[in-house]
A and B are shown apart, each in its own frame.
Chain A
Amino acid sequence: MPEGGIGASVKRKEDFRFLTGRGNYTDDEVRAGQLYAHMLRSPHGHAALGSIDISKAAAAPGVVCVLTGADADADGIGGLPCGWGITSKDGSPMAEPKWPIIAQGKARYVGEVVAAVIAETAEQAADAAELVEIGYQALDAAAVTETAHLDGTPQIHDEAPNNLCFDWDFPAPEAADAVDAAFRAAAHTARLQLVNQRIIPHSMEPRAAVAEYDKGDEKLTLYCTAQAAHAMRLLLGAFVLNQPEHKFRVVAPDVGGGFGSKVAPYAEYAIICWASRRLERPVRWLGERAECFVTDAHGRDHVTEVELALDGDGRFTGLRVNTVANMGAYLSAFAPLIPTYLYATLFAGQYTTPAICCNVKAVFTNTSPVDALRGAGRPEATYLLERVIDEAAQATGIDPVEIRRRNFIAADAFPYQTPVALLYDSGAYERALDIALERADWSGFGARKSASEADGKMRGIGIAAPIEATGAAPSAIAGQLGARAGLYESAQVRFNATGTVTVFAGTHNHGQGHETTFAQLVTDKLGVPLENVEVVEGDTDRAVMGMGTYGSRSLSVGGSAIDRAMDKIIDKGKKIASHLLEASVDDIEFDSGTFTVSGTDRTIGIGEVAFAAYVPHNYPLEELEPGLDEQAFFDPVNFNFPFASYVCEVEIDPETGTVSVERFTAVDDVGNIVNPMIVEGQVHGGLAHGIGQALMEGAVFDETGQPLTGSLMDYTLPRADTVPSFDLDHTVTPCPMNPLGAKGVGEIGAIGAPPAAVNAIVDALRPLGVNHVDMPVTSQSVWQAIQSAKAS
């Protein structure tokens, strides 16, 4: 068996390229004769467009054309589609107003494209954009999440009275009765009003795209920053551009981070594709960071009331959640899914709460559209649950650790059916908690707190036990819930004649290390040396139709498809080997790259088998096709459920309100692990993202919809000196639902870190009478909380 199979911390195959400046990102693609697009964007949150005069811009030096919303209509260009439908509690479908690629009639958020200028150089396009004259008439805006659906609020879309997109009850109307009964019988209750604030994705690579239309074969090629090339092609081709799939190639080359924000089709991509088709020249667009701040789909933005009922023993008996979720000005591709089925289905957490109900009102506002962002719904669910549990610990006088223990789903209770639709696959929650407490030296906290106090500081410790549903998705179930696409994954495993292997996968690597991890699967199962395996992703002309990378699905769904394809390779290989070894196929065994006639020393390597398959001189051609190249699709039977226990310890300077994360311990269980080094890296990144949300990040709009955090001068990203080093450990509870036993890992850190951090902060402040501080918990908000507590 070659080295580097499952379980090895193999150094990444892709690193040499990135470390030597040889990465190939979208903006590195250069095309002869290329034009540059500049998007003119609305400076208003809500405005009627009035007259649009492009004549001066069109006559400016270097300008090739100026495109408006009316041009798009005239050319039959469609609106940006939404990939998920939600039905309101009264049975009506969600309001789904058209999202034109260039604003028509009104602009509904700052940053919406109102005209596109295409010119010979980027600077000429930008210069000319200043000459477009638009007779804006500013309108009153609806920019505040909690009030957007109230009477008297300015209306954004005719199709959405009271700015309401949907009003959704879950799991069913009867559930509320059971929850009401639990509250009537409760010995204790806990309640919190909290905000899960809007955050901005900020992948380090700005969004970018290059479109090239070849009139010769009527084929359009789009290079873009995408996490899901096939989905991008399907959505843009079928719904927006009317470009047939077989005449449309989408390539997502190296992509500099996504975090969910590079899944949806964006207006700019449609505009440059359309422009390239009109002009028969390549057209490129590179997002400036300021543009990305307002147009990359934002995440979160919930206002929630959560209530937990408990019996006299501190057992959870009922959970009630009411949320207003902000969709932004239009429905981005998966926006409706996030505050519904990715959210409310996680309200059980790691606990046995028998009765759960929720209502979610989704509203339109004059703000940037919202979509998936690292965790997408699951952070919001975990945050409210883990926060209200700490509040319940106070109400009952039970220690926060003990109250969680008392309510954990037992390790022998799996598969476990929650009251919110999901069937948990496997788990051992208390074990992870025990390890986390031990590593975090939970029992030594008192001494550390005393030391902080002697230094004039306050200290707090907090815990969170997150769970998430990853591995989207069983397609049939997703379809019942409103998905407008399948959610399987695909792979093709191709032996080349000389014994090397190329894997074509429908997922996409934008930092997750697929080129290495997927190759390890091949090394492990087929015995091919790691350096002889190449993974190809992100090109619709090369890879099989797959659904892409998001929702921590790539290994458990995509990796499983690779595994299935390798099963087919082995099956066929056995037939070839049986011919070459002159034995019955039933007697052929395969292990570590070698076919053996059972009970003999007659063997043949898989490389030789592959060679025979491509040079079939001695080959059973009458029974078997030549070649060794197999493809598989994998549609999971269920989601999978990674879980964790996190302990966060903070120190607060009470004079300034400054919070510093002093210690962070994370014990994750993501099922079987292929590359521990890569898994740890995913956890590190998720934790930093979560600490960012807890302490720093927050998109702020004023009442007119004007963003107040439109650049890195005002939007705080975690930096090296504002996040700690992390202490990691893991347990392994294999997932029984996929052949690899794997669960997702990309998001769990971002899901669990915010409640762990806020619980720690509230723990520190509780002696002052503070029981909640909304995120981001900045110095100013802590200082204000202390002042308010002192005043009351």
Chain B
Amino acid sequence: MYDFNYRKASSVGDAVSAVTGAEDGRFLAGGMTIIPTIKQRLAKPSDLVDLAGIDGLAGISVSGGVVEIGGMARHAEVNASAAVADAIPALAQLAGGIGDPQVRNRGTIGGSIANNDPAADYPAAVVGLGATVHTNRREIAGDAFFTGMFETALEDGELVTKVSFPVPSKAAYMKFPNPASRYAIVGVFVAATAGGPRVAVTGAGPCVFRVAEMEQALGGSFAPEAVADIKIGDGDLNSDIHASAEYRAHLVTVMAKRAVARANG
């Protein structure tokens, strides 16, 4: 593990100036990805700027048909929130399936989506619910936030302050986990939203993506049968020892079908 300077920020402004003023500064949210990465000498930041001491980044609130989750809210808090479970049970359930209990006790939504691991769970919810990502500088539509493998629309010095999820009429997330890492081999988030059905897939490709054909079909009938025969192409999907692209493509259909069934209760 390379050494770095540890800084604990007192405000968002303090954090941003600490990161931008450093040679290679990085924000530290829950640390569940960046600390193992540094431990394995795969990253060598000069400074880590801890966001944990900043007031107001961590809350969860539900009002006016919107669930707002602070960037520093831990997965365990989202999972355990009665308000979230009441408004968007699929979101609480998704948070309860990330990593393991200890990872959920530390990991944050802001850190997760800013990292944009192609197999992470939260990107599926952000896209699947048409959420809005709030940063210290602007609001970014969920659809525009994830730009590629480990790539997001965030600019240098920009950090996620909260994510707002419009409450759908129904939604569900089905994950087929990698048996070793427990990340998603395929995770499908489906939702019936005010703007129409959404189907967001994580794990299968280099970055979360929507399946237009399934969304269209669900617009006709929000039923498992509507998506049961829709196959997605495997040309752009990930392939590894745990799942070939072909198997992943198949699992997208199966998980989508099951997610719709679950959303329908």
Residues on A close to B: CB < 8 A?
123, 126-127, 290, 655-656, 696, 700, 708-709, 712-717, 722, 778-780, 783-784
CA–CA, A712 and B179, complex, Å: 10
Q: Which of B1, B244, B254 contacts A780 (CB 8 A)?
A: B244
B158-193 interface code vs A (CB 8 A; 1 in, 0 out): 000000000000000000101111010000000000
B235-253 interface code vs A (CB 8 A; 1 in, 0 out): 0000011111001001100
Please determine whether B254 and A714 come into contact, CB atoms closer than 8 angstroms: no
Please determine whether B241 and A655 come into contact, CB atoms closer than 8 angstroms: no
CA–CA, A75 and B40, complex, Å: 33
Of A655, A709, A715, A717, the most chain B CB neighbours within 10 A belong to: A655
Please determine whether A714 and B241 come into contact, CB atoms closer than 8 angstroms: yes
Residues of A within 8 A of B176 (CB): 656, 779
B4 to chain A, nearest CB (A): 12
- Decide if B3 is an interface residue (CB 8 Å cutoff): yes
Residues of B within 8 A of A716 (CB): 179-180
Residues of B within 8 A of A778 (CB): 179, 242
Residues of A within 8 A of B1 (CB): 123, 126
CA–CA, A123 and B4, complex, Å: 13
Residues of B within 8 A of A780 (CB): 242-244, 247
CA–CA, A665 and B2, complex, Å: 50
Q: Which A-chain residue is minimally distant from B176 (CB atoms)?
A: A656
B5 to chain A, nearest CB (A): 15
Please determine whether B181 and A713 come into contact, CB atoms closer than 8 angstroms: yes
Q: Which of A126, A127, A714, A779 contacts B180 (CB 8 A)?
A: A714
Q: Known contacts being A780-B243, A780-B247, A783-B250, is A123 close to B181, with CB within 8 Å? A: no
Q: Which B-chain residue is minimally distant from A781 (CB atoms)?
A: B247
Residues of A within 8 A of B243 (CB): 780
Q: Known contacts being A123-B3, A714-B180, A714-B181, is A709 close to B241, with CB within 8 Å? A: yes
Q: Known contacts being A708-B241, A778-B242, is A290 close to B180, with CB within 8 Å? A: no
Q: Known contacts being A656-B176, A709-B241, is A784 close to B254, with CB within 8 Å? A: no
Residues of B within 8 A of A779 (CB): 176, 179
CA–CA, A717 and B182, complex, Å: 11
CA–CA, A75 and B173, complex, Å: 62
A791 to chain B, nearest CB (A): 13
Identify 25 residue pairs between A and B in the complex whose beta-carbon atoms are under 8 Å apart, listed by A's number.
A126-B41, A127-B2, A655-B254, A656-B176, A656-B254, A696-B179, A696-B180, A700-B241, A708-B241, A712-B181, A713-B178, A713-B180, A714-B180, A714-B181, A714-B240, A714-B242, A715-B180, A716-B179, A716-B180, A778-B179, A778-B242, A779-B179, A780-B242, A780-B243, A784-B247
Of A290, A708, A713, A715, the most chain B CB neighbours within 10 A belong to: A713
Q: Which A-chain residue is minimally distant from B2 (CB atoms)?
A: A127
CA–CA, A722 and B240, complex, Å: 21
A177 to chain B, nearest CB (A): 43
CA–CA, A655 and B222, complex, Å: 21
Residues of B within 8 A of A784 (CB): 247
Can you add 8 more A-B contacts, CB < 8 Å, to A656-B176, A656-B254, A784-B247? A655-B254, A696-B180, A713-B178, A713-B181, A714-B180, A778-B242, A779-B176, A780-B247
CA–CA, A783 and B254, complex, Å: 12
Please determine whether B247 and A722 come into contact, CB atoms closer than 8 angstroms: no
CA–CA, A713 and B40, complex, Å: 13
Residues of B within 8 A of A696 (CB): 179-180
Residues of A within 8 A of B250 (CB): 783
B81 to chain A, nearest CB (A): 24
Residues of B within 8 A of A717 (CB): 180
Residues of B within 8 A of A708 (CB): 241
Residues of A within 8 A of B251 (CB): 656
Residues of A within 8 A of B242 (CB): 714, 778, 780
Residues of B within 8 A of A656 (CB): 176, 251, 254
Residues of A within 8 A of B178 (CB): 713
CA–CA, A717 and B181, complex, Å: 10
CA–CA, A290 and B39, complex, Å: 11
CA–CA, A37 and B126, complex, Å: 46
Residues of A within 8 A of B183 (CB): 713
Q: Which B-chain residue is minimally distant from A712 (CB atoms)?
A: B180
CA–CA, A126 and B254, complex, Å: 46
Q: Which B-chain residue is minimally distant from A695 (CB atoms)?
A: B179
Residues of A within 8 A of B41 (CB): 126
Task: Tell me which residues from 1 to 23 in chain B have a Cβ below 8 Å from any Cβ of chain A.
Answer: 1-3
B46 to chain A, nearest CB (A): 15
CA–CA, A226 and B124, complex, Å: 47
Q: Known contacts being A714-B241, A780-B243, A784-B247, is A722 close to B181, with CB within 8 Å? A: no
Q: Which B-chain residue is minimally distant from A127 (CB atoms)?
A: B2
B43 to chain A, nearest CB (A): 14
A217 to chain B, nearest CB (A): 38
CA–CA, A511 and B163, complex, Å: 48
Residues of B within 8 A of A290 (CB): 40
B39 to chain A, nearest CB (A): 9
Of B2, B41, B179, B180, the most chain A CB neighbours within 10 A belong to: B179
CA–CA, A523 and B2, complex, Å: 54
Q: Which A-chain residue is minimally distant from B182 (CB atoms)?
A: A719
Residues of B within 8 A of A713 (CB): 178, 180-181, 183
A195 to chain B, nearest CB (A): 15
B217-248 interface code vs A (CB 8 A; 1 in, 0 out): 00000000000000000000000111110010
CA–CA, A780 and B244, complex, Å: 8
CA–CA, A715 and B182, complex, Å: 11
Q: Which A-chain residue is minimally distant from B251 (CB atoms)?
A: A656
CA–CA, A783 and B247, complex, Å: 8
A326 to chain B, nearest CB (A): 18
4 smallest A-B Cβ distances: which pairs? A716-B180, A713-B181, A716-B179, A655-B254
Q: Which A-chain residue is minimally distant from B180 (CB atoms)?
A: A716
Q: Which A-chain residue is minimally distant from B250 (CB atoms)?
A: A783
Of A126, A712, A716, A722, the most chain B CB neighbours within 10 A belong to: A716
A750 to chain B, nearest CB (A): 19
A757 to chain B, nearest CB (A): 15
Residues of B within 8 A of A783 (CB): 247, 250
CA–CA, A523 and B265, complex, Å: 61
B71-105 interface code vs A (CB 8 A; 1 in, 0 out): 00000000000000000000000000000000000
A47 to chain B, nearest CB (A): 21
Q: Which A-chain residue is minimally distant from B254 (CB atoms)?
A: A655
Q: Which B-chain residue is minimally distant from A656 (CB atoms)?
A: B254
B65 to chain A, nearest CB (A): 35
CA–CA, A784 and B2, complex, Å: 43
CA–CA, A780 and B238, complex, Å: 14
CA–CA, A476 and B98, complex, Å: 57
CA–CA, A123 and B2, complex, Å: 8
Residues of B within 8 A of A126 (CB): 1, 41
CA–CA, A779 and B179, complex, Å: 9
Residues of B within 8 A of A715 (CB): 180
B153 to chain A, nearest CB (A): 27
CA–CA, A514 and B176, complex, Å: 42
Q: Which A-chain residue is minimally distant from B186 (CB atoms)?
A: A656
CA–CA, A344 and B254, complex, Å: 45
CA–CA, A780 and B249, complex, Å: 12
Residues of A within 8 A of B181 (CB): 712-714
A441 to chain B, nearest CB (A): 29
Q: Which A-chain residue is minimally distant from B242 (CB atoms)?
A: A780
CA–CA, A208 and B247, complex, Å: 40
CA–CA, A713 and B243, complex, Å: 14
CA–CA, A655 and B186, complex, Å: 14
A119 to chain B, nearest CB (A): 14
CA–CA, A301 and B152, complex, Å: 43
CA–CA, A314 and B60, complex, Å: 69
Residues of A within 8 A of B240 (CB): 714
